[in-house]
Amino acid sequence: MNITLRQLKAFITVADCGSFTRAADTLCLTQSALSGLIKELEHNLGVRLFDRTTRQLHLSAAGEVLLPQAQRILHELDMLDLELHNLKSRYQGQVKIAVSQQLAASALPDLLAAFRSRCPDIRVNLLDCDVEQVLRRVQGNEADFGIGPERTHGSDTESEHLFALPFYLVLPPSHPLARRRKVCWHDLAGQTLIALNSPFTDRLASALPEQAAQIVRHPAYRVNFLSTALGMVRAGLGVSFCMPYAADWVRRHGLTMKPLYKPQVERSFYLYRRRHRSFSVAADALYRFIRAYIAEKTGATPL
């Protein structure tokens, strides 16, 4: 069987138009050329597709059966052509990502600006949210993927490690500890500590020796947002913690950061996505860009 796309398209167009004359005009063919295509298709199939009279043209019984199949084939080919077009011009479309609020406000703007310069036709919708909401947005299919600190998740979600960052102490430049190059966790004993609400602080405490953990578990203040903690530190109410990506925020508040060590505790960040859900072309482009961007910034080799 040697059926061509021109023959199938001719068959469908004649059936839609109900006339060889109108179909020929639609396809920009002569009537004889169109008739030739239909005859070739009928010969290849071994059936008559149309019942012709001097005044009317109708699908034959075989034609009525085969028309939906021909339409399906052309539709599938159109979809294939569209996918190929998207692959060749992959930097188009829309993608939604859920990102924990602190990370979204501090590190993501520069990343997204770099991505927009590379892929100006991809629209990124940034869903900045509470850390605990990142996984929910991904699992609820509100986001193509999410970025946030390590969290326990179900089997319907998969995670990919992106980077790990150490904790820093945030304090006023006039604070006695600000003169040190590094600050030990046990140096926080006696300090007025401003900590973020659990599970941020609880997870941090679980990674510390017991003496330091007790300091972290019993801060003088607990707040929900880093911006609040920084404002309180600026007002002289105490000291707090942050990740290195918040350095610009810290500087804008007129504060300074010192690495915390003995031990150095790091927080890992992951990319979360629904298992077995394929990325769109746009989401895949952003995903690959993020991995390359992080590798460049950290000096790591992307997987």
Burial of 296 (0-12, 13-18, 19+ CB in 10 A): exposed
> What number is the average pLDDT over the span 16-24?
90
Query: In this predicted model, what pLDDT tens digit does every residue of 127-172 receive, in sequence order?
Result: 999 888 999 999 999 999 999 998 888 888 999 999 999 999 999 9
**Would you state the pLDDT for residue 121?**
86
Indicate whether 91 pLDDT > 80.
Answer: no
Does residue 257 sit in the same domain as residue 176?
Answer: yes
Contact 258, 188 (CB under 8 A): no
Angstrom distance (rounded) from CA 128 to CA 70: 47
Give the angle 53-54-57 at the CA atoms, nearest 5°. Answer: 45
Total number of domains in the chain: 3
pTM over 0.95: no
Query: In this predicted model, what pLDDT tens digit does every residue of 168-216 receive, in sequence order?
Result: 999 999 999 999 999 999 999 999 999 988 677 888 899 999 989 999 9
CATH (domain of 218): 3.40.190.10
Does residue 285 sit in the same domain as residue 158?
Answer: yes
Q: Which residues pair with 165 in a beta bridge?
A: 267
> What number is the average pLDDT over the span 211-231?
92
Does residue 181 sit in the same domain as residue 109?
Answer: no
3-class DSSP state of 282: helix
* pLDDT class of 301 with cuts at 50, 70, 90: very low
CATH (domain of 15): 1.10.10.10
